[in-house]
């Protein structure tokens, strides 16, 4: 599918269509399109950058299972192998995004205390909301 819809599903009148440029890359201009990075968290990063945010905080981006919990709502059969299949691709692209943004004045932080994502500096949730 060459078009993704931001904030809704295809066919709904209030959706924002965005051209999908592929999985790997980084878009500074959403009018030209967006890269999936294999996760909506990567799309959200590009959206935040395009909107002009220069401090971005991730919360709950763990990229790991905790016991039998494979998803935020508990167990999801379709997510059971993500640690071997999906998470490595997501880590790769989020790390790529971190390297791209390191050359700018945009700072991205990871507020998830149990996260396996190491490419963004970790800060506490309390620190993030105190700013």
What are the tens digits of pLDDT across the range 4-63? Answer: 666 666 666 666 778 899 999 999 999 999 999 999 999 999 999 999 999 999 998 877
CB contact at 8 A, 98 and 106? no
Residue 64 has pLDDT above 80, yes or no: no
Question: Could you tell me where the DSSP H helices lie in the chain?
Answer: 40-50, 87-102, 125-130
Whole-model pTM?
0.80
**Would you state the pLDDT for residue 70?**
47
DSSP states along 82-108: TTTTTHHHHHHHHHHHHHHHHTTT-EE
d(CA 89, CA 101): 18
Token output for 7: 């904030």
Q: Is 79 exposed, middle or buried (0-12, 13-18, 19+ CB in 10 A)?
A: middle
Q: What is the mean pLDDT of the chain?
A: 83
Q: How confident is the model at residue 68 (pLDDT cuts 50, 70, 90)?
A: low
Cβ(87)–Cβ(71) under 8 Å? no
Percent of the chain with pLDDT over 90: 51
* Residue 75: pLDDT over 50: no
Cα angle at 97 between 21 and 39, to 5 degrees?
60
């Amino acid at each position: 599918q060459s078009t993704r819809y931001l904030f809704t599903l295809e066919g709904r009148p209030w959706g924002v269509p965005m051209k999908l440029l592929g999985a790997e890359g980084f878009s500074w201009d959403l009018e030209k399109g967006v890269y999936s990075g294999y996760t909506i968290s990567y799309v959200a990063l590009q959206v935040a950058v395009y909107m002009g945010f220069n401090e971005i905080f991730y919360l709950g981006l763990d990229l790991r299972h905790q016991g039998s919990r494979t998803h935020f709502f508990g167990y999801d059969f379709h997510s059971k192998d993500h640690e071997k299949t999906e998470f490595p691709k997501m880590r790769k692209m989020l790390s790529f995004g971190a390297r791209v943004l390191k050359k700018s004045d945009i700072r991205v932080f990871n507020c998830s205390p149990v996260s396996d994502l190491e490419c963004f500096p970790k800060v506490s949730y309390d620190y993030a909301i105190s700013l």
